[in-house]
């Protein structure tokens, strides 16, 4: 697929590989199968196929990592928090919403990882504020963050990353949009924080423009 003359096929290949290398369950599957292998239960042919498959997978992972200069983003395992006591309906609703967002992020994460690693289609001419607005530029920061979240939820990942980086340049204080010169994995987590945040809906007028 990587050698296909069609750009769509090559793009699909990148998304597939980023998903396999990003999701922990996919990435560790072969190692787990080898770990649980029992010679009295499985055939030698199965063992041979398993080792060859693992070898091919490791070669693919090595090439993928080298191509992206070590910027491979890997899904972090979620920490299980034990809950105790009675929860009211509001807290249950909040917990359900958080669970839904986690489920959505599991779908978004691999695609976003591929965008961050390719870096090709991310715009660099973004203005993250509305210069004609009566609202001071310093006070438009939250609206820009809401717009980033809205773009992420609509699947406009390149525009969201472009707006994030432009906002980081305009509002560097407190690293609200991430620290300068972020590594891909750190920028990935900064985007995740914005995606998961409860920011409300963005205003009616866009606080940014593409020149």
Residue pLDDT tens, the chain, 211 long:
666 777 766 667 666 766 666 666 666 777 777 777 777 777 888 888 888 888 888 887 777 777 655 555 555 555 555 555 555 555 666 677 777 888 888 888 888 888 887 776 888 888 888 878 888 888 888 899 999 999 998 889 999 999 999 999 988 888 888 888 888 888 888 898 899 888 875 544 443 443 3
Residues 62 and 105 in one domain: no
Q: Select from 50, 68, 86 the last residue of a domain.
A: 68
Residues 104 and 179 in one domain: yes
Domain count, the chain: 2
What residue numbers bound the domain in which 59 lies? 7-68
Does residue 85 fall inside a structural domain? Answer: no
Q: What are phi and psi of 210, to 5 degrees?
A: -105, 120
pTM, to two decimals: 0.53
Residues 54 and 120 in one domain: no
Does residue 1 fall inside a structural domain? Answer: no
Residues 110 and 162 in one domain: yes
Question: Model confidence over 107-139: pLDDT tens digits?
Answer: 888 888 888 877 768 888 888 888 788 888 888
Structure tokens at 40: 């009295």
Q: Is 162 exposed, middle or buried (0-12, 13-18, 19+ CB in 10 A)?
A: buried
Does residue 58 fall inside a structural domain? Answer: yes
How far, in Å, CA of 158 to CA of 164, rounded? 10
Given this model, what pLDDT does residue 206 score?
Answer: 44
Does residue 204 fall inside a structural domain? Answer: no
Q: Select from 21, 48, 68 the last residue of a domain.
A: 68
Q: Report whether 145 contacts 181 (CB < 8 A).
A: no
Given this model, what pLDDT does residue 204 score?
Answer: 43
Residues 63 and 143 in one domain: no
Residues 104 and 172 in one domain: yes
Residues 114 and 170 in one domain: yes
Crossing angle for the helix pair 141-153 and 89-118, to the nearest 10 degrees: 80
Residues 62 and 141 in one domain: no
How far, in Å, CA of 70 to CA of 139, rounded? 37
Given this model, what pLDDT does residue 92 score?
Answer: 65
How far, in Å, CA of 107 to CA of 111, rounded? 8
The beta strand positions in the chain, using DSSP E, are 126-127, 209-210
């Amino acid at each position: 697929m990587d050698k296909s003359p069609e750009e769509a096929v090559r793009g699909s290949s990148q998304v597939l590989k980023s998903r396999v290398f990003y999701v922990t369950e996919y990435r560790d599957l072969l190692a787990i199968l080898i770990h649980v292998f029992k010679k009295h239960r499985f055939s030698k042919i199965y063992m041979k196929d398993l080792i060859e498959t693992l070898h091919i997978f490791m070669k693919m992972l090595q090439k993928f990592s080298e191509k992206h200069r070590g910027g491979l983003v890997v899904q972090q395992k979620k920490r299980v928090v034990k809950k105790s006591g009675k929860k009211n309906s509001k807290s249950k609703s909040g917990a359900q919403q958080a669970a839904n967002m986690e489920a959505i992020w599991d779908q978004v994460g691999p695609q976003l990882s591929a965008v961050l690693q390719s870096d090709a289609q991310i715009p660099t001419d973004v203005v993250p504020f509305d210069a004609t607005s009566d609202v001071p530029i310093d006070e438009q920061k939250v609206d820009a963050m809401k717009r980033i979240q809205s773009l992420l939820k609509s699947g406009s990942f390149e525009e969201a990353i472009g707006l994030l980086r432009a906002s980081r340049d305009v509002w560097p204080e407190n690293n609200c949009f991430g620290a300068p010169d972020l590594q891909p994995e750190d920028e990935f987590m900064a985007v995740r924080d914005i995606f998961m945040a409860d920011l409300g809906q963005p205003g009616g007028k866009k606080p940014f423009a593409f020149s």
